[in-house]
Chain A
């Protein structure tokens, strides 16, 4: 098969010393941020992206992808040990993982989570390898109207599937797009939206400034607020014999793991869905197809394997549209996409032709990262449990320092650092008022691309908006987008009718 050769080359690229070191380091950091409540892959990737300027782009993306991966494994550790999810992607893991820990089966739950994550990750990487090249080839046919329609579709998934307040979701998306237009007009080069004539706005608002502000400052403020109380870490007994027993008992989880992997992978491809809903759906499916659904919630091991395989599969799934279409499948991949633009790569279908060593190196590294993540996870469980006892008042100031220095580095301007603080506080307040922030980050990354494709399309059609519906592919994308848009409204109307009154949906 023609896929085998580039894949083998990619694995060799990933095994080069620097790249392998990046995989291991990334997985370790990922396990750590995943395990720490309040920090997830997106925080780790946003805060550490500036650090990657030290290494070549291929090593940098391998490092960041390994963080992404490791975080999916790490999330399970605090779900089981603390009963609070280490990241939102591991929420479903608490349902049965915590009861297992309380029954003294924490080691079984952790082993099951690690193995399920490995299976989910591996299956999805194989699917990814099979799907990516043909999808990229298909996407080569896209012109500006298709690109724009595809982005509209990506934003519409937040409205249709995001589950947050619709007007607030759209507001958040539009604000992200407007922030992306600050700086110089991409066509005429005129200064645009230079607020208060501050010179710092001439270089635009880097997506990292918003991402670090929201995920580095805003979310940490949020965590400081909710982590005021003390947490209880469960005791865990670990021995080789018990581990082997735990491995043997995994036979009953084969079905839920496989189903979780597939569900997670396909949910991961959708921009608004991703790992969190993917793992919840996988949990629900495992429960409804189980022979004794009552045992779910009180420590059924399938309740751990289903969501854990799904969240790993989803993280790989969300890389698929990012690499092939240039549309990120999750907030974390949105930041990866922005990073690729900083490194001078153009995400999208041409990447496979122009930078094969980058793409295949990344794909190869995913296979390796999976193996390392599982091994490190199993070997260092006691270490991670010790880390969980680290008070947040040590971690938080270190993160703030990282945000300040990392935010300064790309443009070397204090203006950006002040903006980070502003966005951080605003992000915190908006989040408290139920404004989703993920669409805003996605929008600021995609904003310049969306504007360019819109203006190129309109220029080509002499200002005729019909160009978007005359071309079959873009019409299909827009129709799908419209359906996603209308779906929650119809659902709301039906809900109201059934209730027979103007009941709120709160």
Chain B
């Protein structure tokens, strides 16, 4: 996909988003309510209408080749970039997905093991030590110092002894 195609695709996507936001805003009153002022949907409705207008302008400029992107025929995301960013985004998403099941601490550990070793190609010593230290520091910072409980999923029972230690 070239940058030119990407700009067209993105503009159309954002235009669709604008229309969706207008429809969604119209679920609330978008006109004037007697004695109350403008309805709750009016402000987002007109903002979204403005977004749509901006997309229309961008589309015209794209058509006439006025934006630098519309004249750029290079690949939007090159193979070298995709090789780095693809696994990065997917591994973050997997970390979030795992958080729901096995909790954030184990998810962080697995994420760091994968990323440092296979993306960064660092030594096992560095990989393992960082992957172990990060969740421990996170635990004591959030749970002990801030008293904010992070999600633990099915690993919750493993933390009971630690709870009795910090509370």
Contact = CB atoms under 8 A, between A and B. Distances in A.
Interface string B139-167: 00110011011110000000000000000
Contact of B95 (A181, A195, A404, A506): A404
Interface stretch (A240-248, A336-344, A427-435): A427-435
Contacts of A177: 43-44, 47
A418 B115 contact: no
A187 B35 CA distance: 12
B96 A414 contact: yes
B94 to A, nearest CB: 11
B43 A408 contact: no
Interface string B98-121: 011000100010011001100111
Contacts of A400: 92, 95, 111, 115
Given A228-B80, A401-B138, A175 B51 contact: yes
Nearest to B17: A175
A221 interface: yes
A348 B113 CA distance: 46
Main secondary structure on B side of the interface with A? helix
B24 to A, nearest CB: 5
Contacts of A505: 66
Contact of A190 (B7, B40, B58, B112): B40
A181 B44 contact: yes
A414 B69 contact: no
Interface string B52-68: 00110110010011111
B21 interface: yes
B151 A414 contact: yes
B43 A174 contact: no
Contacts of B141: 51, 54
Given A168-B54, A400-B111, A409 B21 contact: no
Contacts of B126: 394
B50 A170 contact: yes
A193 B120 CA distance: 41
6 contacts: A171-B58, A193-B44, A391-B122, A409-B150, A417-B99, A428-B85
Interface of A: 51, 53-54, 165, 167-168, 170-171, 174-175, 177-178, 181, 185, 187-188, 190, 192-193, 195, 217, 221, 224-225, 228, 391, 393-394, 396-398, 400-401, 404-405, 408-409, 412, 414, 417-418, 421, 425, 428-430, 432-434, 451, 454-455, 458-459, 463, 502, 504-506
Given A174-B51, A178-B44, 10 more contacts: A53-B148, A167-B61, A192-B25, A217-B92, A391-B122, A393-B116, A417-B96, A454-B43, A455-B38, A506-B71
